[in-house]
Amino acid sequence: MKFNPQNPPRRFEVGNRLRFELQDCGTAHLNPDEQITFVTEQGGQYDVVRKDWGFYATPSLNGRLAQYGLRGALVVNQASRRYYVLLVEDGKEQLFAAYCSQEGLQVVAWLDKAETIETMLGQSSGS
């Protein structure tokens, strides 16, 4: 892995309804079969794994991700109809709901239960 820090961070505005500033802090270059882990102050962990065909963008949604205090949510931007998978820290669902309201996002489904995903796929549990 090679990390190129952006120092000072590149600053730019984002947001649909309420503009706010993001900071681009750097770039991580992963070779196939390398992983980088991001950690929250509460100990939550989020892994990204590079493969020769692309990336595992998240750990298992209803396994390791949940064990580390994160919930996957499929959301849609109501104006652009673009879809995103967002990761929400356990206990911060109210902050997430406020952000969704502010940005015009709608939760399509929480992705941390096998039953939810199976229902979306038209499968029954255990199939």
Q: Can you tell me the mean pLDDT for 61-85?
A: 93
Say which residue, 4 or 121, is predicted with more confidence. 4
Residue 126, domain member (yes or no):
no
- Position 16 pLDDT exceeds 90: no
Q: What is the pLDDT of residues 19-30, one digit of tens each?
A: 889 999 999 999
Domain count, the chain: 1
Residue labelled with tokens 């998240």? 58
- Phi, psi values for residue 97, rounded to 5°: -60, -40
CB atoms within 10 A of CB 63: 11
Q: How far apart are CA 127 and CA 83, in angstroms?
A: 27
The H or E element that residue 114 is part of is helix 114-120
- Position 126 pLDDT exceeds 60: no
Residue 17, domain member (yes or no):
yes
Residue 85 belongs to what domain range?
A: 2-120
Residue-wise over 93-104: b if at least 16 C-beta within 10 A, else e? eeebeebbeebe
Q: What is the pLDDT of residues 82-100, one digit of tens each?
A: 999 999 999 999 999 999 9
Residue 125, domain member (yes or no):
no
Predicted TM-score of the model (pTM): 0.80
Residue 127, domain member (yes or no):
no
